[in-house]
Amino acid sequence: MASSASAMVLALLMSVFGCIATIAEARAFFIFGDSLVDSGNNNYLETTARADSPPYGIDYPTGRPTGRFSNGLNIPDLIGKQIGLSESPLPYLSPEFDGKKLLVGANFASAGVGILNDTGVQFVNILRMDRQLELFQEYKQRLSGSVGSKQAHRLVSQALVLITVGGNDFVNNYYLVPFSARSRQYSLPDYVQFLISEYRILLMKLYKLGARRVLVTGTGPLGCVPAELAMRGSNGGCSQELQRAASLYNPQLVEMINGINAEIGRDVFISANTQRMHNDFVSDPQAFGFTTSETACCGQGPYNGLGLCTQLSNLCPNRDLYAFWDPFHPSEKANRLIVEQIMSGSNQYMHPMNLSTIMAFDSRI
């Protein structure tokens, strides 16, 4: 009887550690940032920055809203598939996030946040970047309690990390209202420098928490999203002021990342030129199978760019023909194009290397 019990315990242990080994091979995945990568944390917060009502999720496998600001899958979902995960990391605040789910990774992103803590104040209760990093530290403690500190350290250090933040610091802060507090405090070039310096602090905190492979996305073409075409566009064109902000910010972000990597002595941080990725299909939507990159699939007003996407909004019948799902966020098809470039794009898109190269390189270590 005793030997039978011992055999059962041994089988259970082998099952647990076998699961750990399998997931470690696929590498865990951690996500930080804003609505472009939030998979539902805001569903559990008292905030207006939520995507938990139809028609969000209309093309998601369940056909139901999940908290993703998309008609279907978002960028973390698609990257997760590419790195071999059988399921997407759950939102950290999800009640289902426990047990073996910890081994897959976690999504800490929260719609509305920016690099700065005063970004998105109108959304009230969101997970600002400092809080996301605090929750990551809490996650590491939970993981250590589950699999031991050595295995937890290994899982985190071998994980892939994605951080997408910065756009809201312009659209939901500096340009939120005329004569905003930040626009009175800083000229645009000085504000960009301030953002970059604050972002550097966040990235170094992430490094000190154990992150060793971090994809850092820039902003898209901020002035060309349907919301900005509707509110600030001139003569049917993009908002030149927001385009100027993106053109100042993105090159300085790459420069800052290069500087950190040089200081560390290895390519921990990888910059993704999401402005260029977006510009490809924004400037020539037909080449990518879209009928429009100006009008959102879901919304109202000019370009369907005003207000929120709700059940009362205009809704296109074929989401694959639209580069933008709602006034601010790409459609699932556009997200797929972005992830294709993240995986295999040239140095014009991914610097110093794309994700396929990273995976091949890391598999040899």
Check 88, 313, 326, 351 and give the catalytic one: 326
Q: Is 63 left (phi over 0), alpha (psi -120 to 50) or beta?
A: left
The first and second tokens of residue 137, run together, are 């530290």
Please check whether residue 230 is in contact with residue 306, taking contact to mean a CB–CB distance below 8 angstroms.
yes
Check 35, 88, 110, 331 and give the catalytic one: 35
Task: From 270, 183, 169, select the one nearest 222 (Cα to Cα).
Answer: 169
> Does residue 110 have an active-site annotation?
no
Helix (H, G, I), strand (E, B) or coil at 142: helix
> Does residue 329 have an active-site annotation?
yes
Check 34, 88, 278, 329 and give the catalytic one: 329
Please tell me what DSSP assigns to residue 216. E
Query: CA angle, corner 45, sides to 41 and 50, nearest 5?
Result: 65
φ, ψ at 227 (rounded to 5°): -60, -40
The C-alpha atoms of residue 27 and residue 65 are separated, in whole angstroms, by 27
Helix (H, G, I), strand (E, B) or coil at 173: helix
HSE at residue 76, side-chain half, CA atoms within 13 A, is 32
> Does residue 271 have an active-site annotation?
no
Catalytic residues: 35, 326, 329
